[in-house]
Amino acid sequence: MSFFQAILLGTLQGVTEFLPVSSSGHLVVMKSIFNIIEIPVLFDVLLHISTLFVVIIVFRTRILSIIRSLFSYLYPGEVTSGENRENLRLFLIIILASVFTATIGLGVSFLNVERNPMLVSILFLVTGSFLLFSKFSKGKKEYGEIGVVEGIVTGTAQGLGVFPGISRSGITISAALFSGMDRQKAGEFSFLLFIPAVSGALVLKLKEARDLFTMVSPWTVLAGVSASFIVGLFSLKLLLKLVRGGKLYYFTPYLFAIGIAGLIWL
């Protein structure tokens, strides 16, 4: 893998991990176009760690609030505020959703779809359709109003994000909106679910990792990871702004275009 390819893949990761266009689907397409036979597993892991840090930084206030609320329940005599109760409820729903994500994700992981650009192209069209219909959601539920149903729906949706061509962010935000959540909360909730999902996936991937620096220069790795982090930070902030404005469907024409192009040429 060359220096240019590392930066390209890092930039691609930073953009597509957050914008609802499927990072894994674009990776399949880019590998086909640039004839990249294999991406070192550890390099892929480092790219995902960089985007994981982006999420933690952007949502640090909510994450710290949840942690404080959890600790408050460990000390008798602490005042149980409405915020603490809401955060505990949110934490339990994230766990529930993560169980469904893991169950579905592991259940379909044996399907070898990464080498099937035709299926990936079809799933680009599916993602585009979800984003289009999300335009019509009118949900106003806050965290204190969501429960088991919302956890199961969004967790299941995130599990389906295993398929290249299905955008994890796109389908989970859409699922949260369809289940009646407020737009801002739907965007935030999607990325709170991202943290345990990606952390678990990285642990599994590390088992396959080999010595990266015998295959790729450390400077090449640093360039790719830096590109992923910087571009990812801007991409996530852009996405959240679009979600709040109800404009996820802006990505539908692009997804339809690459989906149709893939069906014709790949």
Higher pLDDT, 181 or 216: 181
pLDDT at 109 over 80: no
Average pLDDT over residues 204-210: 69
* Residue 99 scores a pLDDT above 80: yes
Whether the per-residue pLDDT at 184 is higher than 90: the answer is yes
Question: CA 260, CA 257: separation in Å to the nearest integer?
Answer: 5
Q: Provide the token pair at 18.
A: 């957050």
The whole-number pLDDT of residue 209 equals: 61
Structure confidence by residue, pLDDT tens digits, 122-143: 999 999 999 999 988 888 898 8
Mean pLDDT, rounded, for 10-33: 81
Looking at residue 132, its pLDDT comes to 94
- Across the chain, mean pLDDT equals 86
- Taking the CB of residue 79, how many other CB atoms lie within 10 A of it? 6
With cut-offs at 50, 70 and 90, classify the pLDDT of residue 195: very high
Beta carbons of 179 and 154 less than 8 angstroms apart: yes
Q: Residue 6 and residue 105: Cα distance in Å, rounded?
A: 27
CB 180 within 8 A of CB 136: no
Provide the pLDDT for residue 5: 81
CA distance 208 to 255: 31
Residue with the larger pLDDT of the pair 4 and 192: 192
Distances (CA, A) of 50 to 57, 80, 184, 222, 264: 11, 35, 24, 11, 34
Distance CA 168, CA 166 (A): 6
| pLDDT for res 112 | 62
Q: What is the pLDDT of residue 139?
A: 84
65 close to 87: Cβ distance less than 8 angstroms: yes
The reported pLDDT for the residue numbered 187 is 95
Contacts (Cβ under 8 Å, ≥6 apart) of 196: 94, 95, 98, 101
Q: Give 215's pLDDT tier (boundaries 50, 70, 90).
A: low
Q: Residue 2's pLDDT band (boundaries 50, 70, 90)?
A: confident
Residue 117: the pLDDT is 77
Distance CA 233, CA 58 (A): 8
pLDDT in tens, 224-248: 999 999 999 999 999 999 999 999 9
